[in-house]
Amino acid sequence: MSDWNAAQYLRFASERTRPAADLLARVPLRTPDHVVDLGCGPGNATALLAERFPGASVVGVDSAPDMVAQARHALPRLRFVEGDMRDFHPEAPPDLIFANAVLQWLPDHAGLLLRLVRQLAPGGCLAVQMPDNLDEPSHRLMRAVAADGPWASAIGDPAAARTPILGAGAYYDLLRGAGCAVDLWATTYQHPLADAAAIVAWLQATGLRPFLAPLSTEHRAGFLAAYERALEAAYPRRDDGMVLLAFPRLFLVARRTA
């Protein structure tokens, strides 16, 4: 898969940062010493963490070199490192592991979340936000267009691009069983965007990446054009000419009590 593009991601920086702020608002810690932003991207959520916890050591971790480079440029006083989030091992037990819009890309959530909880310091928190939008028109049409065109063989199985996350109840049971107090909620954001092309631009930085990565320049252009046409029918213009992108997200804050 092609590398993450920080500039493309930041085209909708305000909308992408809002869920991170909503998640951080529910973290009950007052003065943590060690904070890790797992999957920090270009540092937009890391900046919130550093502002909320000015006395803490805040470290951003991401596997994408372009994201880490952008974060270091934007926030030179903070520490950012490249690392594989599937095999994350902190230097010291964190008081907070913050994972905003990243764990949905990783498999085996039962094993992953238990491992992250075990890495926390006593009383520490795991705070997670994940898109839960695979059943939205944006993603259903993404898979449908991927399966119907000259690009289909290069893309392969569209359903394999991202594994569905677990249900809220499964995360609750998992984290309670791991000795955590659990705060769990879901929110659907309604993002006003200019048109279907803006939805495509939003998703080119995230959900479309596995579909576009294997395509030739010609097939990529054809796929994006077909996808945009499909979105135009699914996202009608509102009275002011805008379209509304519904974006469901699942949030959880697990505090280690055992």
- For residue 6, pLDDT over 50 is answered with no
Average pLDDT over residues 16-28: 94
- For residue 1, pLDDT over 50 is answered with no
pLDDT for 11 equals 61
Q: Rounded to an integer, what distance in angstroms lies between the CA atom of residue 133 and that of residue 61?
A: 25
pLDDT for 161 equals 82
Q: Rounded to an integer, what distance in angstroms lies between the CA atom of residue 134 and that of residue 150?
A: 23
| R_g of the chain computed on alpha carbons | 19
What's the CA dihedral at 95, 97, 100, 106 to 10 degrees?
-170
- For residue 185, pLDDT over 90 is answered with yes
pLDDT tens for 118-165 read: 999 999 999 999 999 999 999 999 999 999 999 999 999 988 888 899
CATH code, domain carrying 28: 3.40.50.150
Q: How many domains does the chain have?
A: 1
What amino acid is encoded at 250 in this protein?
L
Domain enclosing residue 192, as ranges: 6-256
Do the domain assignments include residue 117? yes
Enter the pTM of the model. 0.92
Sign of CA dihedral 135, 98, 6, 103: negative
- For residue 37, pLDDT over 80 is answered with yes
Strand 243-256 to 180-193 pairing: antiparallel
- For residue 5, pLDDT over 80 is answered with no
Which residues are within 8 A (CB) of 203 and not within 5 positions of it... i.e. 6 or more apart?
A: 138, 142
Do the domain assignments include residue 1? no
pLDDT for 205 equals 83
